[in-house]
Amino acid sequence: MTILTGTTAATAPAVATEQRLNGLLLRKLMPLLIVVYVMSFLDRTNIALAKASMGIDLGLSAAAYGLGAGLFFLTYALAEVPSNLIMHRVGARFWITRIMITWGLLSAGMAFVQGETSFYIMRLLLGVAEAGLFPGVMLYLTYWFDREQRARATGYFLLGVCLANILSGPLGGALLEMDGVLGWHGWQWLFVLEGLPAVALAYVVWKKLPDGPASAPWLSAADAQDIERRLSAERAAAPEQSKLGQMFRDKQIWLAIAVYFVHQITIYTVIFFLPGIIGTYAALSPFQVGLLTSVPWIAAAIGAATFPRLATSPSRCRTLLFFGLLTMSAGLLLASLSNSFIGLIGFSLTALMLFVVQ
């Protein structure tokens, strides 16, 4: 016979309430946020599929394409912090809606670039427009979830990267097959038909995404107060944050920055250049290239769903990180040594470990 102490009996309902609320928040918030992130990644990376035909039609060299792909991240990095400061003042619903409308219109506007200069300008503008989404959602999750549940919600959100890249290949390949329809190039249809849906989705965000617990119509006043109370208690119990100068003198911080830097180079090398590399394997249609491009991202989704669960302690995290980075390097080496479909196996090995770092 189990005897409940007064403390246990008192905390059991609180734990049940917390579990119920966390489940409700995940169901109500995360599906829409994941769809938004899928859409953003489609619009951020669709130039990878457009590269071959766009380069021919506009006379873009490989160097010009690489520069344009990278310029996106220049303005993206510069605008991230200001965007979050604005969002905190004006509210998440308004600001994320604004972000989606702006990036959707600019992404569709990529269909009208005329050459290198306009290509560079549009990529810079797109970086500014989309910059606030990821950090904004990370901030938004702090309005709802405690640290433990926030990690879980962030994991679900990052699955949007895998979903976007799995979908982008077949979808983009099919849109490129529209070449000649109404006198437009296939890459123009690609940008327009993947950009404008973001504007339509912005309306859904405006109608469905609450600014915080107090404005959520599907939360009772008691539940909203309970969420705010738990988050306030967590903030009050948090240790004092390190000074900025102390952080920059911490060797572990610099090591983490270095690891993440090379990791992101790997991710975006695969994203931006994989379709073009696959196109050299054989005489393939745009749709076939798109289908094959999705293969490594299926591996990435498997890795994202599997390996983070094993990181249950700092020592396991270090082991996973070591073997993950080693496997990524081996995969890229295999891909570089093979100009055939064996190279796709190498890219899949690399993709399998992409989210071990994140």
| 173-215 pLDDT tens trace | 899 999 999 999 999 999 999 999 999 999 999 999 999 999 9
String of DSSP letters for 134-166: HHHHHHHHTTT--HHHHHHHHHHHHHHHHHHHH
Which residues 6+ apart lie within 8 Å of 127 measured at CB?
A: 71, 72, 73, 74, 75, 76, 79
Which residues 6+ apart lie within 8 Å of 115 measured at CB?
A: 58, 59, 60
- The domain limits of the chain are 28-227, 243-358
Which of 12-21, 75-84, 271-280 has the weakest average pLDDT?
12-21
Please check whether residue 144 is in contact with residue 212, taking contact to mean a CB–CB distance below 8 angstroms.
yes
Which of 81-90, 176-185, 273-282, 304-313 has the weakest average pLDDT?
304-313
Please check whether residue 168 is in contact with residue 49, taking contact to mean a CB–CB distance below 8 angstroms.
yes
CA–CA separation, 86 and 174 (whole Å): 38
Give the gyration radius of the chain's Cα atoms: 22
Q: What is the pLDDT of residue 1?
A: 47
Q: What is the pLDDT of residue 244?
A: 62
Mean pLDDT to the nearest integer, 9-15 = 62
Q: What is the pLDDT of residue 200?
A: 96
- Residue type present at position 152: R
Q: With cut-offs at 50, 70 and 90, classify the pLDDT of residue 357.
A: confident
Mean pLDDT to the nearest integer, 284-305 = 88
Q: With cut-offs at 50, 70 and 90, classify the pLDDT of residue 243.
A: low
Opening angle at CA 128, ends 100 and 89, nearest 5: 70
Q: With cut-offs at 50, 70 and 90, classify the pLDDT of residue 234.
A: confident
pTM: 0.84
Domain 28-227 has CATH 3.30.360.10: no
Distance of CA 71 to the CA centre of its chain: 18
Q: With cut-offs at 50, 70 and 90, classify the pLDDT of residue 35.
A: very high
| 59-90 pLDDT tens trace | 999 899 999 999 999 999 999 999 999 999 99
